[in-house]
Structures are given as structure tokens and as C-alpha cells.
Structure 1
Amino acid sequence: MAVEGITKLPITIKNDEATKLFMQLSNISGEIGRLDEKYKSSMLQSGFINLLALNESVQSTRIEGTQVTFTDMIEQSNKTDKNSNYIEVMNYQKALLVGEERIKNGYPITTRLILELHSILIDGARGSNLSPGDFRKIENWIGPTKKREDAVYIPIAANEIEEYLSNWETYANGLPYDRKMSLDHLGTVEGMVLDEDTHPLLKIAILHAQFESIHPFLDGNGRLGRILIALYMMQTKQISAPLFFVSEELETKRAKYYALLNKTRGNRPDWYSWLHFFLEASERMTNRLNKLLDDANTIARSGLKKCKTTSEKHVYLYTFSNPNATAPIVAKTLGISQTTARRALNSLADYDLIYRDQSMIRNIQYFNYDVLELINKK
């Protein structure tokens, strides 16, 4: 029998469950802090972050069934004809970067931003014929088939979406003048209330589950919900860039991810199991990202020692944001001549820092396989 609807925020959990979560949280918070410091001191910074954002885009769309890989995206990047999977992944990355710009300019995550990002996310991709940038007007359900009787979850009615998203937005951003959110929906409060002053990492876990449960759009809810995780961690100053990516960890346990989300729904939600799962995934991914940044900086420092000119250094660092490079693209991006770009790329290939694809006569492609292997390493 399908679970129907959700309760509003804030939520409560048992006191002993809260103790366990806060113990988990103390370890992860330190790792996130270290990750942010490594990012701010890295010579790679935004370029490499864009590459990580691309990988996040791949992993998030894979959760929803696409078969594209990170390597596929790199190999297609210089091709004229782009398939639908490529467009979907690039839309995800574009929405993530637009969201980053809005957060940096001081705009909080609101319904208005959510609608804007949704419009970008499904532009010309899967779901583009299903009201991009607009809330659903009809009932929908989640299940293995298109039949309502096979549904595992039936979200709130379409006419309740704005009410529930307003509650979601208030929980995310708080009320003015230090006012507190109402707890009337909780009845007699037992245990601990995880209110709007709760640690941001627990809050985004709750916000993510609640957003997926509200299911405000006919398509793109999961992808947009995972974008909001990275953006909220930025908004709350936990990290300086949209670097907190958990989709890769969630993708590896997709069935459990969906099952635990479903347990947060209905009249008797189990929030602890979901929050424990999310914190575990966050810890694994934060550890991986910390190591990834360390390894990338080590590779970059070693490679720069082999470079003999300023142009070679700039072009080499560029390949950490685009490991499939051509002279015209490098020239355009870095504002140098194609001759200078080609000379630098050929020199880097001679130093064995990148690979020159000899099968091409024009628009020769150069691959930084050190970076590709780093991202693909599990």
C-alpha cells in the first residue's frame, strides 16, 4: 500500500537517536572544514571544481537511469552532435553554476530560485515538455510502473505545493526577528526537535528528503534536489564553493537511498534512518573529496616543475578543468593565439604531461589522463 503525503517541518527524533547523530556530525564537520581550507589554498580552485561539478552532474543523472559516464562526457565535449544524455548532464552543471552565482551574490535559496534552476535543468532535455520552471498542476506518484495502484508513494496534492514549499523555505532560511517556527503540527512534542537552528548538514538532509517528498515538478525533482544540497552548504557558509557533492555516494546505494527517503513520509516518518544514512554518505564523500584535492594538487605541482614557459603552465593548469583540450578551445578560453596554444599543448605532450591523439589531422585532441584517472578512481 502506498505511503501518502508528509508532515511539515520542523521534525522530531528520539533523544537517543539525536545523541548518535550528533556524534556522527562532530566528525564530519571537521572533515568539511578541512575540505574548505584545502579548496581555498588550492592552486586549481574553480577550474578543477568545475570538473568535479561535471562528475557530480553525471552521478546525479545516473541515479535517475541515464547510462552516461564521466568519460563519455569528456569524450563528447568537442563533438558537434550532442546526445540527450550529454545535454541533460550539461544542464545539471549549468543549473549548479547559476545557483552558485546567485548564492555568491547574496540570494538565498527560495521558491523563485528553485523555479529558475528547474527551467535550466530540463531545457531541451528529459522532461522539457512537462512544464519547465512551473509546479505540477496534477497529481503524480512514485512507483515501478505508471499505474497509480503500483505506487509506493503518492505526494501531496498539487494545490498544496506552494504551502508546503513555503514551510520548506522558512525552515531553510528561518523567520525574521529571531521568531521561531510553529510546532503545532507535532502535537505533544516527544524527544528532540530538529528546528531551523539545527546544524546545516542535518538541515540539508531534512530539506532534501522533504523536497523530494513534496515532488513539486512533473520531472527533475531528484536532480534539482541534489543540486540544492551543494548550494545550501554554500549558503550556510559550510563551504566556499559548490563542492559538497554526495550524488556519487547516493548512486552506489540507489535502492537504499530511495527506500529511506520513502520512510520519511506519511504520518509516522522514520527520520533517524534517513539522517544516519545521509551523514554516512556525506562522511565517505567528504573523505574522498579531501583526498582528491590532495592528489590533484600533488599532480599539478609535479607537472608545473616540467613546464618551461608561462604559457605552458597556464595551459597545463587549464587541462585540470578540461582534460580533453584542443588548441582553438584553449586559445579562446585563455585569450591567447592558437599558435601559442598549440605550441604549449605539444610541449606538454612531449613532457608526457598530456596525451596527443595522433589519429586526428585537424583539431587535434589532447588528454590529461592523470586527471581523468583521478576522477574515475573509486
Structure 2
Amino acid sequence: MALQEAKASSEVENIVTTQDELFQADVFPDDPQSPAAKEVALYRDALRLGYARLGETGGLIPNSALIDMFRLLKGRSDGFRATPGTALKNEQTGEIVFVPPQDAREIVRHMTALERFINDDDLSPLDPLIKMALIHHQFESTHPFPDGNGRIGRILNVLYLTRTGLLDIPVLYLSRFITRNKADYYRHLQAVRDTGDWEAWVIYMLEAVAETSATTVEIVTGIRQQMADVKHRLRDELPKIYSQELLNNLFRHPYTRIEYLQNDLDVSRQTAAKYLDTLAEHGFVEKHRSGKNNYFINVALVKLFLDVSGGP
């Protein structure tokens, strides 16, 4: 699920990859098939880092966590913008539509205030969903980083909903709605700056949560049903190799490989290879080859992601 959110969020920035490229980059992380797939994988890693920071800080989202995510996403060692010159432009016309704060001290001041607004629940009686919309707008308008602001801002959305308890883990497929309604996203962002039209912006974000909540539930329900079906088949057809760990591996890694099975099941390479070949012979996975390496695809699971995402 984290990869699917990463894929959709990256598409907002015109970083487009296919499901196959995405999962191949996951199964062969040292040899990604495309630069876009590598970018998406970095987004996933930044999301995971942010979620880990939530646990380490007792449910807080400090600015230091945002900076760490930015550094991981962009492979940089700096943090908030320190030099002027940033301007947001219309993608089609090149026209400057908004100039965020330029002074480094002003950026820090805005982000310090936002950090408090995010983490101090006594500051505002607003519903967390409305508060998320305000947080996202303030972050995007401050544009604190030299690059990657859109993706860090969308990670912040799901981290905040997780912090408030509306999500148990950051799995909401929120960027899918934004990708499909990108023109409206930027129009409503700018309307708040130009005319103070907060109502339309908040409604847009609430619609995003409502639609993508339904999509996420559909995906999770589909995964659970597939897991139950495969579990019964494995027990009936391959009882000698069945284990919960094997089942989990097939759904944790839509594209899996011998090394993953070795680690998850704590078995030898020879045993892991035998298990995967047996699974392929019985139609649980499809066997493929990339260079000298074999990998195995959970075709039904990948099809579920394709059907729900509506893309390749």
C-alpha cells in the first residue's frame, strides 16, 4: 500500500512509473528499471521513516522529522530553504502564480508555528480532517524545502491522520484523488491565497479523504479476501510447505524472490527456491527472470492494484 501511495503522489509531480517498474525496483532495489521507479521507492522510504518517527516521538511530528524525510527523498544534507529565489509557476504558461516566504528566518518562523499547530491539540477545537486541510495548505504555501515540497506535504497528510488516530497506519491512498483532480488541487490552493476561499479548499480535501477512504477499503478488503483464498488453497494443495509466514510473504511482496523467502521463513536458499518453484507449478505465482535472478509475481494481487488504480 505504501508503494501505491508513493506512485500516486509522485504522479502529481509528473514522475510516472508502471506497476511492473515499481515492483521490480522493490524486488531489485540496487538495480531500478527506471529513474522514476527509484524516485517512487524513495518516497515510500520517506513515508516509512516518517511513520517510524511517530513511534519514536510518542505520536509527534516535529520539524526534524520533516527534514529527515526531505533528506532521504532528495539525497541531500540541507534542510529548510536558506537562499531566496523560489517562485511557484503555472506548469503550462510559466507564469509566476505565488511567491512563498523568501527569508530563511521567516521560513523557520512559519514552520515553528506550524509544528506547534500540528502537535498541540489544545490550540484548536477543529475536527482533525479540517485541521489536516489547513496544515497542508500552510505547508505548501510556506514551501520550506528547496525541492520535494509537494511529496513531503502529502506524506504529512497521512502522518497527521495517523497521529490523530483516524488511521492506524499511514495507508490512505490520498494522492490518487489529487492526481486525478490535479487542476482543481492547484486552483483551490491558489484561491485561498488570492481570495481567502478556505471553504472550497476544505471541501476539496474532505472529498479527497472520502473517496480515497472508499478506495483504500476496497483494496484492503480485496487483499484480505485473496489471502483467505490462497490460505485455503495452500492448505489443501501444498500442506507440507504451508505456513503463515509463507502466506504473509506472498502478500508482503507482490514480486518476491528467493532471498525474501529465506529471511521471512528462516530456511536455506535451496529450500526457499524449492518452495517458490512449487508455488509456480501450482499457479500461486508466476516465475520470471531478470538477468541472472529469478523473481516470482503474485499475479492476482498485482491485478487488484491495477484494477483499483486504473493505470498500468
TM-score higher than 0.5: yes
Separation (CA, whole Å) in 2 of partners of 1:78 and 1:216? 33
Distance 1:327 1:264, change over 3 A: same
Distance 1:143 1:362, change over 3 A: closer
Match of 1:133 in 2: 79
How far residue 139 of structure 1 moved from its aligned partner, in angstroms, is 3.0
Structure 2 residue matching 1:297: 3-state secondary structure:
helix
The gaps in structure 2 that reach 5 residues or longer are: none
Counterpart contact for 2:69–2:152, Cα < 8 Å: yes
1:377 aligns with 2:307: yes
Percent of aligned positions that are identical: 25
Separation (CA, whole Å) in 2 of partners of 1:98 and 1:363? 29
Pairing partner for 1:217 from 137, 145, 165: 145
Q: What is the number of residues matched between the two proteins?
A: 300
Separation (CA, whole Å) in 2 of partners of 1:227 and 1:87? 17
1:314 aligns with 2:266: no
Separation (CA, whole Å) in 2 of partners of 1:319 and 1:248? 25
Pairing partner for 1:367 from 282, 297, 301: 297
Counterpart contact for 2:245–2:264, Cα < 8 Å: no
Structure 2 residue matching 1:98: 3-state secondary structure:
helix
Q: For 1:333-372, what aligned pairs fall within 5 Å after superposition?
A: 333-357=264-288, 362-372=292-302
The gaps in structure 1 that reach 5 residues or longer are: 1-51, 181-195
**Which 4+ stretches in 1 moved above 6 angstroms?**
none
Counterpart contact for 1:316–1:348, Cα < 8 Å: no
Separation (CA, whole Å) in 2 of partners of 1:213 and 1:290? 31
Structure 2 residue matching 1:60: 3-state secondary structure:
helix
Which structure has more RCO (C-alpha within 8 Å, separation ≥ 6)? 1
Separation (CA, whole Å) in 1 of partners of 2:52 and 2:25? 26
1:81 aligns with 2:31: yes
Separation (CA, whole Å) in 1 of partners of 2:8 and 2:207? 18
Separation (CA, whole Å) in 2 of partners of 1:242 and 1:259? 26
Match of 1:25 in 2: none
| One-letter identity of the residue aligned with 1:373 | K
Q: TM-score, normalised by structure 1?
A: 0.74
| One-letter identity of the residue aligned with 2:71 | S
String of CA shifts for 1:303-341, please: whole Å, max 9, x gaps.
111211355542232121211112133213442211221
Counterpart contact for 2:158–2:170, Cα < 8 Å: yes
Pairing partner for 1:328 from 223, 243, 259: 259
Counterpart contact for 2:162–2:170, Cα < 8 Å: yes
Match of 2:60 in 1: 108
String of CA shifts for 1:132-184, please: whole Å, max 9, x gaps.
4333421311113699x820111122231111112212221227xx5x5xxxx
Structure 2 residue matching 1:152: 3-state secondary structure:
strand
String of CA shifts for 1:26-52, please: whole Å, max 9, x gaps.
xxxxxxxxxxxxxxxxxxxxxxxxxx1
Structure 2 residue matching 1:87: 3-state secondary structure:
helix
How far residue 89 of structure 1 moved from its aligned partner, in angstroms, is 1.2
Structure 1 residue matching 2:193: 3-state secondary structure:
coil
Match of 2:190 in 1: 262
1:71 aligns with 2:71: no
Q: TM-score, normalised by structure 2?
A: 0.89
Separation (CA, whole Å) in 1 of partners of 2:224 and 2:91? 46
Larger Rg: 1
Counterpart contact for 2:114–2:138, Cα < 8 Å: yes
| One-letter identity of the residue aligned with 1:340 | T
Separation (CA, whole Å) in 2 of partners of 1:362 and 1:92? 28
Structure 2 residue matching 1:102: 3-state secondary structure:
helix
